[in-house]
Structure 1
Amino acid sequence: MKTNKIIYTLISLALVGSGCKKALDLKQQGVYSSGNYFRNEVDAVNAVTGIYSILPEEDYIGHAESTFDTPSDDYWRSGDHGEDEGIENLTYDASNAAIRYPWKWRYEEINRATNCIINIPKITAISTAVKNRSMGEAYFLRAFGYWRLMIIHGDVPIITEADYTSLNFNVPKSSIEDVRKQIESDLLKAVDLLPESYGPVDRGRVSKGTALGLLTKLYMYWEKLPEAIATGQKVISNPAYALAANYADNFTRANESSTELLFSIQAVQNVVQNDFTVYYIPRPWGGYGFSQPLQGLADEFEAGDPRKQATLLSVGDKVDLGDGAGLTTFTADLSATGYAFKKYAVFNTEANGGGVDHSFAVPLMRSADIYLLVAEALIRTQGAGAGDALINQIRHRASASLPAVKNAGMKELIHERRVELAGEDQRHQDLMRWDKKNIVDIAAIYNLAVSKAPLDKSKTVTFVRPKNYYFPLPQVEIDKSKGVLVQNPNFK
């Protein structure tokens, strides 16, 4: 685990005198540490912005985190990362590189957030509004780091403010129950401190609705269904987090200002590469061609559901790559499965130079997800039909011609989550939490997906309970801890 206390260093190097001065003659203009950096409002805002900057990292949300959904029946891993095969087929061990990559970034996010939580309250030259907002952002982003650790690994170390101050980072794992309590505590604070929405200058920062949305998801994974309903309703009932008018609007350049995007990766063309998007785009179009949708996902969409066309590219579809060549045809050689995710194939116009659009805001959490989680909680606590109104809002947003569900149970809810959130890294975790409650048989679902996959795909998923409910801790972190960290059960 990365253990260094975050230091914000600003060094200006300037040549003094003639151009023949050597590097050793350069004068260091200033050094800032966590002890002297936090002086005013600008410093607080910049420090918090530094937490967000971790999200687009290729080995974090930029790509590595999405790898953990590859065992699902929605897609084949594709790509040239050998470590992904072990994740997809659930044959990994604790030395798998894909398990190691995002670990340090989750804790980097936690460390940066904790640094802000400790130091921003000490600033006096700051408005109350900006201080509260900045603290709320830090609490949310720390909770998100722990959320990803908990979802993937279960029991993980919690680094407290006291640990951080004393530089005591080599601590044992906490139980998943305690990790959930830590996430809940941070999110409740974030809800109290964050604004409901932002103006254009601060677009992309997390809001009160973002914190409420993740808290709803936490309660669902915690099996606290009444709490999930009460929390999620605060998102659903607030116009500030309304669904986009059209489903496809969530996956266009214009989505940056969408009320539905509760949380997203923000990037800037020619400044920050949006690896998340790049990984889904076919290689000849400037991407890497990973995570190709399987036929089973395509078959899940009902006839007349426009979400299929908005979600998937299939052979014969036309796309404008912005290269001045007009519409380009999606051909069979662009994907081994015959499909790619259209919702991430976003390109600049010819006037803007064409090519992959790195300013596209990648959705990490949408209001639609929360609608369906509340619908699920209602069905599971009140019975079939209790979630009909919410499910139908999602369906009729997609198309008024889709038939309304009536007396919907978990079968209908599971279908709706699959087609609404396809490719958004929810499927594998959804199936696992439902399997734990005997709502689905994840092993049977995955066996069926393998049997339907083309024979040249090496997707051979065998789900073993309870081993595969969580991934192991990276072996390198176990080794570095000198016995403080203990490996998850079934991986020793």
Structure 2
Amino acid sequence: MKSKHILYTAALAMVFTAGCKKTLELNQKGAYDASNYFRNEADAVNAITGIYSLLEGEDYIAHAETTFDVASDDYWRSGDHSEDEAIENLTYDASNAQVNYSWKWKYETVNRSTNCILNIPKITSISPAVKTRSIGEAYFLRAFGYWRLMVIYGDVPIITEDNYTKQNFNVPKSPIEDVRKQIESDLKQAITMLPESYGAADRGRVSKGTALGLLTKLYMYWEKFPEAIATGQQVISNANYALAANYQDNFTRANENSKELLFSIQAVQNIIQNDFTVYYIPRPWGGYGFSQPLQGLADEFEANDPRKQATLLSVGDKVDLGDGNGPTTFTADLSATGYSFRKYAVFNAAAAGGGVDHTFAVPLMRSADIYLLVAEALIRTKGAGAGDALINQVRHRASPLLKPVSGAGMKELIHERRVELAGEGERHQDLMRWDKDKIVDIAAIYNSPVSKAPLDKNKNVVFIRPKHYYYPIPQVEIDKSKGILKQNPNF
């Protein structure tokens, strides 16, 4: 496919993912398509960076991805977006703006990745190591695009190299089983091509551990538990992906070098704005104040669990905004629920100008997630207690004062995932996959008093099975396909 790209020069360091709100002075360098662009190593590296850069989009990760978790019992949508309210209350339809945004950006990820998979192998002026790594990155990023499409929509069209050869892109949906096989194939390719780790100059690139981690998540959603255990153990046993020494280390500026961050959004202060964090930060502090934690989430933490303090801001807590005025108090007027996410409220020191820290790396996948998925797979295949060692590693990292679990079953595993990964986009999807297996009753959870914001205490959320396990295909995409795409059932 000869996708036309306009290339520009700008004073940018290597930036993979973040949202840009600033106008840059750009000079057009040239107009290229796939037939004349892929000439040398620099072109290959820039093309791969162009795939990562899609994740900077406000409507890809920042606003859109967080919105898909607001239906959960962890936080209230807040904000003034009717599309968010519809997703939270399960009243969305095929015209919902967030549903529409998500489709576009995931398929652009697939498009750019496939372009690289087709063309980078043809480049001769490139070192073998960079060539192999770049192709591996493209395979991973294509898998990630399909992963998000699958999780959100279920059955979706598969576009691969053959479609580019035939110039045929208007194709029907493939069954979710085939989508999973496509993701699995791409991730297995990536695993053979990606390095285990990188030096400082390539900080933020996906690694072999990133691909193994996503493959583990795929297998858990696929309910291939032995395979999930096998791939997940390769992450857990590798020192390159070790848990950070302290839980809160994952949510500080220094975390951009953390081994635990298998995949993250990285930005550069004063050049690229990180919209992901902005959505969580209270408006008076420079954010939008969306996704406010609920009392039920606060209550889930054990009394001596320091992850509560690292995760949540509650009334009376102090934060240094870097404005030169010393610590600022979190007051009740900053959140309708009484809480905000501390883990994303990262600010520059006054000496650096203060304000929201856009160099903070936002975790998209952490090793701790993989530890707990493997623990779950062990429990579900071998019974209660089989995941104790891994759960206790995560708990002990949080605090040696937390009582170790013994004979832990799904109840304990569910608790641990909730407190460890709060606000990281896992809760709603976790509950839906457990609901499918009748491990939890998601409808009852979403209508419990602690699952509702103070302003929504009387609402009744109707979770319809299987309708709400997936979102509708955007109606605008069905219209553009002239009927080739078919709507998901019940929409």
Runs of 4+ residues over 4 Å off in structure 1: 449-452, 455-459
1:134 aligns with 2:134: yes
Structure 2 CA distance, aligned partners of 1:410 and 1:426?
16
- Tell me the residue number matched to 1:485: 485
Kindly indicate whether residue 219 of structure 2 is the aligned counterpart of residue 219 of structure 1: yes
Root-mean-square deviation (CA, aligned residues, Å) is 1.5
- Describe how 1:190-269 pairs up with structure 2 within 5 A: 190-269=190-269
Tell me if structure 1 keeps the 8 A contact 2:76–2:452: no
Equivalent residue for 2:291?
291
Offset of 1:11 from its aligned partner?
6.6
User: Which position in structure 2 is the counterpart of 1:330?
Assistant: 330
- Residues 69 and 11 from structure 1, CA distance in 2 versus in 1: closer, same or farther, beyond 3 angstroms? closer
Q: CA deviation at 1:460?
A: 3.8
Residue 439 (1) aligns with residue 439 (2): yes
Please tell me whether residue 37 in structure 1 is matched to residue 32 in structure 2: no
Distance of aligned partners of 1:390 and 1:51 in 2 relative to their CA distance in 1, 3 Å threshold: same
Cα distance between partner residues in 2 of 1:372 and 1:212: 14
Partner of 1:60: helix, strand, or coil? helix
Matched, 1:78 2:67: no
Aligned residue number for residue 398 of structure 1: 398
Distance 1:47 1:92 in 2: 36
Q: Is contact 1:136–1:194 with CA below 8 Å preserved after alignment? A: yes
> Structure 2: how far apart are the matches of 1:30 and 1:417?
48
- Structure 1 residue identity aligned to 2:195: P
Cα distance in 1, alignment partners of residues 73 and 305 from structure 2: 20
Alignment match, 2:107 = 107
Give the counterpart letter for 1:326 in structure 2: G
Q: Any conservation in 2 of the 1:76–1:457 contact (CA below 8 Å)?
A: no
How far apart in 1 are the matches of 2:118 and 2:460? 47
Name the counterpart of 2:412.
Answer: 412
- 1:369-388 matches, within 5 Å, as 369-388=369-388
TM-fit CA distance, 1:398: 0.3
* Farther-moved stretch of structure 1 (327-336 vs 443-452): 443-452
Greater gyration radius: 1
Partner of 2:306: 306
**Contact 1:450–1:461 at 8 Å: present in 2 too?**
no
**Which structure 2 segments of 5+ residues have no match?**
10-26
Aligned residues: percent identity?
81
Q: What secondary structure does 2:291 align onto?
A: strand
Determine the C-alpha separation between the residues in 1 that align with 2:360 and 2:4. Answer: 30
Shift of 1:44: 0.4
Letter in 2 for 1:58: E
> Which amino acid in structure 2 is aligned with residue 312 of structure 1?
L
How far 1:10 moved relative to its partner? 3.1
- Does the CA contact (< 8 Å) of 1:312 and 1:343 recur in 2? yes
- The corresponding residue for 1:169 is 169
The offset of 1:455, in angstroms, is 4.3
In the TM superposition, what is the alpha-carbon distance from 1:485 to its structure 2 partner?
Answer: 0.2
Task: Check conservation: 1:293, 1:341, Cα contact below 8 A.
Answer: yes
Q: CA deviation at 1:452?
A: 5.4
For 1:351, the equivalent position in structure 2 comes to 351
What is the distance in 1 between the residues matched to 2:286 and 2:339?
Answer: 16
Counterpart Cα distance in 1 of 2:236 and 2:292: 32
SS in 2 for 1:10: strand
CA distance 1:464–1:456, change in 2 (3 Å) = closer
SS at match of 1:277: helix
1:420-472 Cα shifts (integer Å, max 9, x gaps): 00000000000000011111111111111467542456754221111100000
Partner of 2:6: 9
Q: Are 1:292 and 1:336, in contact at CA under 8 Å, matched by a contact in 2?
A: yes
Deviations, residues 88-107 of structure 1 (Å, cap 9, x unaligned): 00010111111001211101
Shift of 1:32: 1.7
Matches within 5 A, 1:107-126: 107-126=107-126
Question: SS of 1:389's equivalent?
Answer: helix
- 1:30 CA displacement: 3.7
Structure 1 alignment gaps of length 5 or more: 13-26
1:140-155 residue pairs with structure 2 within 5 A?
Answer: 140-155=140-155
CA contact (8 A) 2:75 2:294 kept: yes
| Aligned-residue offset at 1:292 | 0.2
